[in-house]
């Protein structure tokens, strides 16, 4: 039986947190993780032992083993959110484990924090924000580009700033977000024709290549009953971030 994900919105400013999710594994299996433009805090608990870490943005779909009898909690932070000790650009396609004390507290930024639950993530996030560890960096999307002699930033400067905050280029963000949006639409029962038309793919083959690279499956697999476990799909808003 594949993993079943429960997820919800939060009361936190959407510029900081996108979604909160949880799931549980009953037996050893594998999970396909779709490419993501956002970073996540992931907690897992096996036989009473807590593990915590930061999963960075992912530039392609991957497959990972899932241990049995394990509870997972994830906080997907909004696109452009920054955890001060670990900017997203430093953990692209990577994972940074956080120390966990014997009493089950997570060490972030040199301080110990009570581990959040699915119900009280908001309190945990607000404490990180109040401590100055969590914030949001401007991406420069609203700034006017000028030439070398102008007073504003150049396009190259804005691109460097964007990549420094997100770890990704604007092109990569658009491609990953579009593939996740396509997967969400297909999983929800839409045929490939409206997906191609709505999201601007050239044709079915173009869509298929994007799904294989960024989502790790085909349109038929997404629509099949009993499809193998994969990280939850949730991409319905038009802005960047998935």
pLDDT digits over 169-188, tens only? 999 999 999 999 999 999 88
For the record, the structure tokens of 194 come out as 């409206």
pLDDT of residue 180: 93
Q: Cα 137 vs. chain centroid, distance in angstroms? A: 17
CA distance 122 to 158: 32
Report the half-sphere exposure of 145 (CA within 13 A, side-chain side): 8
Do 57 and 166 meet the contact criterion of CB atoms below 8 Å apart?
Answer: yes
CA distance 205 to 210: 9
Torsion sign across C-alpha atoms 162, 231, 213, 97: positive
User: How many other β-carbons are positioned within 10 Å of the β-carbon of residue 229?
Assistant: 18
128 secondary structure, DSSP code = H
Bridge partners, residue 65, by sequence: 30
Mean pLDDT, rounded, for 216-229: 78
For the record, the structure tokens of 156 come out as 């190259």
Quote the percentage of the chain above a pLDDT of 70.
88
User: How many other β-carbons are positioned within 10 Å of the β-carbon of residue 56?
Assistant: 21
Average pLDDT of the residues of the chain? 88
CA distance 176 to 37: 7
Q: What is the dihedral of CA 54, 58, 64, 70, to 10 degrees?
A: 30
pLDDT of residue 226: 56
**Counting Cβ atoms within 10 Å, is residue 208 exposed (0-12), middle (13-18) or buried (19+)?**
middle
pLDDT of residue 147: 57
Could you tell me the end-to-end alpha-carbon distance of the chain, in angstroms, rounded to an integer? 25
Mean pLDDT, rounded, for 23-35: 90
């Amino acid at each position: 039986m594949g993993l079943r994900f429960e997820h919800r919105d939060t009361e936190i400013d959407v510029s900081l947190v996108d979604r909160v999710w949880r799931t549980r594994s009953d037996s050893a299996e594998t999970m396909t993780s779709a490419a993501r433009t956002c970073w996540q805090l992931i907690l897992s608990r096996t036989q009473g032992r807590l593990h915590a870490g930061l999963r960075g943005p992912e530039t392609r779909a991957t497959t990972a083993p899932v241990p049995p009898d394990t509870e997972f909690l994830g906080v997907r932070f909004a696109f452009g959110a920054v955890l001060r000790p670990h900017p997203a650009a430093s953990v692209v396609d990577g994972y940074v484990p956080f120390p966990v004390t014997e009493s089950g507290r997570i060490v972030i930024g040199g301080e110990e924090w009570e581990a959040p639950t699915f119900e009280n993530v908001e309190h945990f996030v607000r404490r990180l924000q109040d401590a100055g560890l969590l914030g949001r960096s401007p991406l420069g999307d609203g700034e006017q580009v000028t030439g070398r002699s102008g007073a504003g930033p150049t396009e190259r400067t804005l691109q460097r700033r964007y990549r420094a905050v997100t770890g990704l280029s604007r092109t990569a963000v658009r491609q990953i977000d579009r593939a996740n949006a396509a997967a969400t639409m297909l999983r929800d029962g839409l045929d490939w024709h409206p997906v191609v038309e709505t999201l601007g793919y050239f044709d079915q083959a173009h869509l298929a290549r994007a799904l294989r690279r960024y989502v790790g499956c085909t349109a038929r697999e997404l629509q099949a009953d009993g499809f193998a476990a994969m990280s939850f799909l949730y991409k319905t808003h038009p802005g960047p971030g998935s």
